[in-house]
Structure 1
Amino acid sequence: MADATTSTSGLAGRCLARRKIVAGTALTGVLATFAWGGAALAQSTYDVVISGTETAPIDMDTRSPGGGILHLEQGGSISVTSDTENAINTSTSNAWEFQIDGTLRADGTASGIASHTDDTVRVGSTGVVESPNGGAAIYNGWSGMTVENSGRISSDKFSIMVANGTLSLTNNAGATIEGTVQVASGGTSSIIDNYGSISGRDGRAALSLAGEATIYNREGATMSSEYNAITASSGVGHLENAGSLTSTNTEYVGSAAAAFYKSGTIVNSSTGTMSADIGAWIGNWYELTSTKGTLTNEGTITGKSHYGALFNNLTDASLTNSGMLRGVNEGAIFAGVTNSEITNSGTITGSRGLYFMNSDYAGTGHASITNSGTIEGTDTYALGKASGINYDLTLDTGSNLIGQVQADSGDTLTLKGTGSEDEDLKGFGTLTMAGSAWTLSGEVQADALNVSSGSLTLTGTDLSFGSIALTDAAELIVNGSFNSSGATTVASGSRFGGSGTVGETTVQSGGILSPGNSIGTLNVTGDVTFDAGSFYEVETDPTGTSSDKTIASGNVVINGGTVQHIGFDGTYDPSATYRILEGGTGLTGAFDSVTSDYAFLDPSLVYDRDNYTVDLKLLRNDISFSDKVGTTNQRAVAAVSEAAGHGNAVFDAAAFLPDDAAVLGAAFDSLSGEVHASLQSSLVENTDLLRTTLGQRLRSFGANGGPQAEGSVTRAATGADMLRAAAAPEVWAESFGSWDRKDGNDNAAALREDTSGLLVGADMTTSEGTQLGVFAGYGRTELNVPDRASSATADSFHIGAYGARSYVAGAGLLSLRGGASYSLSDVDSDRTVAVGALTGAQTANYHAGTAQVFGEASWSVDLGQAEVEPFAGLAWVGLDTDGFTEAGGAAALAGQSQDMSTLFTTLGTRVSAQIEVGALPLEITGALGWRHAYGDVTPFSTASFEGGAAFTVEGAPVVRDAVLLEAGASLALSDTTHLTVGYKGQIGDNAREQALTLRLSARF
């Protein structure tokens, strides 16, 4: 024996001991406490610490019959070569705890650690337990054990084997277990919690578990094997996988990432992957188990050679997939399963997507399938089955089937939500529409079609049903090759439209039959019956005499109801007759009424009892166009449109407008050319921009005849100082822009107007103190009337002259200012007409001339820090617009020349003050006023359609009363140069205008 040491210390009358031992040292009569992982373990009777090297087998029962704790320290080792003796062995009922931080190796076919009763093995991060030559690294043969691994446990066969009892295994992150973890047939249960890596060797599973098995494979963890990654052979298994389960060798046909051979639950989370010959396997080939197998997949499951998922010989099976489930053969196969429930919102794909088959133990079965994802059969069936299997298939929003769907009369198909499907859906016993909107464009066949809600549209080339029933507020639209041999019932609130052939048809009270779905014919084999309160909806073609039609081989039985005519846009022939019903053997009864959606046409029915037909005629009623519209402009246009008569394009388009007040009003407004009138008021009001600019310029002269700040009043005392001396000529330039919004009124539409431009001028002061000047400029106005689909631009060229004179008047200064201008505008207009079938753009180009004369009197008073100037202004504006001829078709207008004469008065007060910015004088001004308009404030446009009478419409009016707001600032850059900015706002009834100006002036 090498050295042996013992140390003791007292604790509450008991003895704690620490012994360092080598081969053969016996420990007796001591009490020890051992700490592992930073936490104190429960006190045990013995504590054995090995820090050196041990080569002989250790029999813990011989050395310490009462059980205890063995600690193999880091750097220590136990290495035993034996085929008969385990490296560490326990056989009594006393429990042992093993803390392995060193290396434990069994080189023979015996085990590394062979425990007996509820032992615990903890392998630290530096610990290794290995048995490379056929023995188990850790073995328990009696009542189970607990293993926690943070290091490495390795065997060429079984890393951990429990022959009886329960295994509780935790494999921590970074830890590895090499070799099968097995709970043999005598085992009762196991709990496996893996954060690290577990791999099988020599063709064995990573986990092979008998009894009840609960397995957690955490995110980032792996389990792999050449065969099954997990095998649960006899009990019910429960697996939650967030990591990776892999079978690495496809030579093992039938290997699975997880195989539960009795039953169980597999949950593969969004981060989980399972890959093997068979991705997931629940059930048994050799017997029918009266249990349930459940697979929930949110991640990826791959069957590399066979199936993504296999359920076999189960009473119940459940598959819920929101991830990717794929197999080379089937995405999922159900073999010998009595009841299957499949819910898919992800992707299931294989040569056959879902397949249901019999087995030697179950010859029939039923499946319930709900799909809102993709089910794909890359070779044949998206859904396939053997005889004796029936299923209920529900397609919900998001559903996508790729491949054939195999069905027979025992199967049902239900549509929910919204969607479309172009695969063939044939052979079903019942097809039920219970969603909101579906379109099926493949071949569709069923013994019975029930449309209980929403709208179902069928467009396939082979549509065949036994009976058809529409209930509630459902709608069926058929546009394909349609045939139904059984009875068709259209219940209250439902609507059936389409072409094809149906059996005996009854339209119940509140139901709607609409043959054609656009112009087409519905054939009825047998009688067609319209109950009282039913509706028969037909469309007619304005270009000819074709219409929707129902042809019955038997009787047409009409017990009342209403024919509803729906017309296409177009111009109808008032003399046309449209065949809408035809019987083969008889015609009885009559409809209660016939209606149309036209405002100016009345439909009538013609019954031919001898030939069993019903025809529809459209006749002009006695309602005038103008009776159906509300505004002055609309009535004016409606009257001349009606007077044009049949054959005139405008009349024909208007005559077939629907009886809808909004549509009628918009149509006649579209024809009116209102934009031409509204442009006139814009041109009149835009003259204010010139008056504002020139007024600011005239107020910019000082008492000595020199220029002063923008808007300033002469700061002088009284008497001769107020007389102006002659001043050198001065030139100036001013840019301006304004934004105008008018809300319109009950007659004319709202408009938006943007104007910008530039004026240049020159002026001087005479020796008598009179200011005189001239100016010229250019401006562009863009007018938009959205509600009339109209716009116009006016490019205007301005010329004019202005002048001013000031006089001493008491304590202030009386100033008289005035001017005159003329503007020539080049106008381009564009409007879009939309009246039923009559549409197109109408354009015109013409000229307008605007003249104005204006004057202002003001009296300014110097209050020391500020100057106040009450004022009164008067302006006259005269506008003349040329006649015009629009280009664009039948709705083009020929407009007459127009003129306006408008007078404006303005009352208000200006205030100004002067401060210094650095060494430069800055003049700040403001004004508040009221403007009133007299004379022509409502613009008119008189025009006519080609060959028609003239009519007059009104445009958006000139604002009659408006509040004026002005603000400005002028900076004297030098004695001869000034920079001025100004703002002006006008707020009137339903109108707002804002303008900005920028002027630079210089004196020579």
Structure 2
Amino acid sequence: RYTLLSAAGGVSGTYGGLTGALATDATPFVDFQLVYDANNVYLDISRTSTAFADVASTFNQRSVAAAAQALGSGNPIQDNILFLTAPEARNAFDMLSGEVHASIHSGLIEDSHSVRDAASERIRAAFDGVGASSVPVMTYGLGGLELAPATSENFAVWGRGFGAWGHLDSDGNAAGLDHSTGGFLAGGDAAVGESWRLGLISGYSHTSLEADDRASSGSSENYHLGLFAGTQNGNLGFRSGLAYTWHSIETGRSVVFPGFADSLSADYDAGTFQAFGELGYRINTASASFEPYANLAYVNFDADGFTENGGAAALSSGDRSSDTAFTTLGLRASTVLTLGTVTATARGGLGWRHAFGDVRPDTALAFAGGSSFAIKGVPIAKNAALLEAGLDVNITENATFGIAYQGQIASDAQTHGFSAKLGVRF
């Protein structure tokens, strides 16, 4: 109870009522009432029967609302939410959710294809596969190190720079996520037996992630290592591989709503394991070559637990894991072009990718002194069209440059990536 007015000579009459933020229907969690006696006017504030979760409209909002209310009186999170309007409360629940820690799973799982794509393409190139780069590789033969065709049977060393950016749309629960990655991959492979090729791939990349609607961001330093193998038996080709990526993740977010402000940060390690296999069948025509193919990939993302640095809105979490699989059916094509005195290989492809498993990653989070609550991140697109295009140009007799584009387009997500190679004979 708060005393608004005291008069020794007494109080007569009444106020017309409360308006604005003190109006009964403006603040669903508390009730304001004017009370009078002979000499005073009081403002009584009482808790209504409306639970925080009653005004929430999404899964994440309801989870945060229940956890915030359970913190009890005296906690700055609960005490400030009590006096919010329903729209302000929903915004507060979103800002408090820490959903970036779940959405990071989606961003890094989406970007994992860069490693397996590079390994698969190198195997295809080694067997003069359809749609593979024809840029020469560095080999070691009887004459020592030299630049040789991608199909050389000698031990070969190669590298490629790559970059990609994309966006995962909001599903109405989690906010949309922008993600971008850039890095370099290098590998070495050699002939094994009569028709197999076995190799290693390694590299580094940096990923940036932004969930602007939640004032949240993250970054990851990624270190890649993998093993790949493949063969060509007549027109039938097989490629496979295993890879692991070590992630060093940092996050930052701001939580701001009326009466409350906090800045949070965290850093933790994570890892991505992936395995893939692909079958393709080559079809040659007079003007071009084609390859229908089927690809299966499994991706496991594991993240360590963490505790955010910050104030009352800081969250903690235990270890988290997501398992996702991708199937792809597609068609590749390539042809050799002659442009005056310059020869070039043009290549392209079209495919359909289906994702299943943990396409909507979730994580368990908790406020200090509170019980855990579930938060769902932005989902990976279940179905996406894959677009590929590339051109390898023999710039001079001793130099070949190759550039390639790969896009993943869905109704609720898209990713665009480029890679480049250069082969120069000295």
- TM-score of the superposition, structure 1-length normalised? 0.39
Q: 1:747 to 1:918 in 2, by over 3 A?
A: same
1:667 and 2:92 matched: yes
User: Larger radius of gyration, structure 1 or 2?
Assistant: 1
1:709 aligns with one of 105, 128, 134: 134
- Equivalent in 901, 908, 916 of residue 338 of structure 2: 916
Aligned partner (choices 607, 615, 618) of residue 42 of structure 2: 615
Offset, 1:772? 1.9
Q: Which amino acid aligns with 2:157?
A: V
Q: Does 1:844 align with 2:302?
A: no
- CA–CA separation in structure 2 for the residues paired with 1:875 and 1:845: 28
Task: Spell out the pairing of 1:85-484 with structure 2 (5 A cutoff).
Answer: none
Structure 2: how far apart are the matches of 1:974 and 1:821? 35
* Superposed displacement of residue 765, structure 1: 3.0
Match of 2:33 among 604, 622, 626: 604
Q: Distance in 1 between matches of 2:125 and 2:416?
A: 22
Q: How does 1:612-691 map to 2 (within 5 A)?
A: 613-657=40-84, 659-661=85-87, 663-691=88-116
Please identify, of 983-992 and 925-934, the stretch whose mean Cα deviation from structure 2 is larger. 983-992
* Counterpart position of 1:865: 287
Matched, 1:797 2:228: no
Shift of 1:959: 1.1
| Distance in 1 (alpha carbons) for counterparts of 2:382 and 2:227 | 27
Find the counterpart in structure 2 of residue 256 from structure 1.
none
Q: Separation in 2 of the partners of 1:775 and 1:975?
A: 28
- Residue type at the aligned position of 1:731: V
Q: Is the 8 Å Cα contact of residues 3 and 42 (structure 2) preserved in structure 1?
A: no
Quick one: distance in 1 between partners of 2:266 and 2:332?
A: 43
Q: Tell me the CA shift for residue 971 of structure 1.
A: 2.3
What percent of counterpart residues are identical?
Answer: 36
SS at match of 2:407: strand
Deviations 1:661-687 (CA, angstroms, capped at 9, x unpaired): 2x2111001110000000001111111
Q: Distance in 2 between matches of 1:983 and 1:930?
A: 16
Distance across 2 between alignment mates of 1:725 and 1:985: 26
Paired residue type of 1:674: E
- Whether contact under 8 Å (2:71, 2:370) holds in the other structure is yes
Supply the distance in 2 between the matched residues of 1:1002 and 1:727 (Cα, whole angstroms). 19
Conserved 8 A contact 1:565-1:596: no
1:907 aligns with 2:336: no
**1:762-781 alignment, distance < 5 Å:** 762-766=188-192, 768-781=194-207
* Cα distance in 2, alignment partners of residues 751 and 671 from structure 1: 17
Do the aligned partners of residues 634 and 851 (structure 1) sit closer, same or farther apart at CA in structure 2, a change above 3 Å counting?
Answer: same
Q: Distance in 2 between matches of 1:765 and 1:981?
A: 26
Structure 1 counterpart SS, 2:360: coil
Structure 2 CA distance for aligned equivalents of residues 693 and 817 of structure 1: 11
Among 167, 170, 176, the alignment partner of 1:750 is: 176
1:796-945 equivalences in 2 (<5 Å): 796-808=222-234, 813-945=235-367
Distance in 2, matches of 1:910 and 1:944, equals: 48
- TM-aligned CA deviation for residue 930 of structure 1: 0.1
Change beyond 3 A, Cα 1:759–1:564: same
Task: Name the structure with the higher helix share.
Answer: 2
Would you say how many aligned residue pairs link Structure 1 and Structure 2? 411
Deviation at 1:876, TM superposition (A): 0.6
Q: Supply the distance in 2 between the matched residues of 1:627 and 1:844 (Cα, whole angstroms).
A: 31
Residues in 2 aligned to 1:825 and 1:737: alpha-carbon distance in whole angstroms: 17
SS at match of 1:646: coil
State the partner residue of 1:956.
Answer: 378
Tell me the amino acid that sits aligned with residue 927 of structure 1: G
Note the alpha carbon deviations across 1:576-624, whole angstroms, 9 max, x for none: xxxxxxxxxxxxxxxxxx636322111122220x32x221110111100
Q: Is the 8 A contact 2:292 2:331 kept in 1?
A: yes
Q: Secondary structure at the match of 1:947?
A: coil
Q: Is the partner of 2:24 in helix, strand or coil?
A: strand
Q: For 1:563, what is the secondary structure of its paired residue?
A: coil
- Which consecutive unaligned segments of at least 5 residues does structure 2 have? 137-149
User: How far does residue 969 in structure 1 lie from its aligned partner after superposition?
Assistant: 0.8
Q: TM-score, normalised by structure 2?
A: 0.90
Q: Does 1:946 align with 2:372?
A: no
In the alignment, structure 1 residue 566 sits paired with structure 2 residue 24: no
SS of the aligned residue for 1:673 comes to coil
Given the superposition, is the C-alpha separation of residues 798 and 725 from structure 1 closer, same or farther in structure 2, using an over 3 Å criterion? closer
Q: How far does the alpha carbon of each residue in 1:488-522 deviate from its partner, in whole angstroms, 9 at most, with x for none?
A: xxxxxxxxxxxxxxxxxxxxxxxxxxxxxxxxxxx
Q: Tell me the SS of whatever aligns to 1:727.
A: coil
- CA deviations on 1:946-972 (whole Å, 9 max, x unpaired) are 010000100101111000011001124
Contact 2:6 2:41 in 1 (8 A): no
CA contact (8 A) 2:168 2:380 kept: no
SS of the equivalent of 1:856 reads: strand
1:996 to 410, 418, 422: 418
CA distance in 2, matches of 1:831, 1:550: 46
Asked if the contact 1:751–1:783 (Cα under 8 Å) also holds between the matched residues in 2, the reply is yes
> Residue in 2 aligned with 1:718?
none
1:633, 1:954 within 8 Å by CA — same for their partners in 2? Answer: yes
Q: C-alpha separation between the residues in 1 aligned to 2:394 and 2:158?
A: 14
CA distance in 2, matches of 1:703, 1:997: 19
What one-letter code is carried by the residue in structure 2 that aligns with 1:667? Answer: A
1:556 aligns with 2:24: no
Does residue 737 in structure 1 map to residue 193 in structure 2?
A: no
Distance 1:823 1:1002 in 2: 30
Partner in structure 2 of residue 728 of structure 1: 154
How far is 1:805 from its partner? 0.5
Matches within 5 A, 1:535-546: 545=2
* Aligned mates of 1:904, 1:938 — CA distance in 2: 14
Q: Distance in 2 between matches of 1:856 and 1:903?
A: 14
Deviations 1:631-654 (A, max 9, x none): 000000000110111012221122
Tell me, yes or no, if the aligned pair for 2:333 and 2:349 is still in contact at 8 Å: yes
| Aligned counterpart for 1:782 among listed residues 187, 208, 217 | 208
What is the DSSP-based 3-state SS (H/G/I as helix, E as strand, rest coil) of the residue aligned with 2:282? Answer: strand
Distance 1:546 1:738, change over 3 A: farther
Letter of the structure 2 residue corresponding to residue 952 of structure 1: A
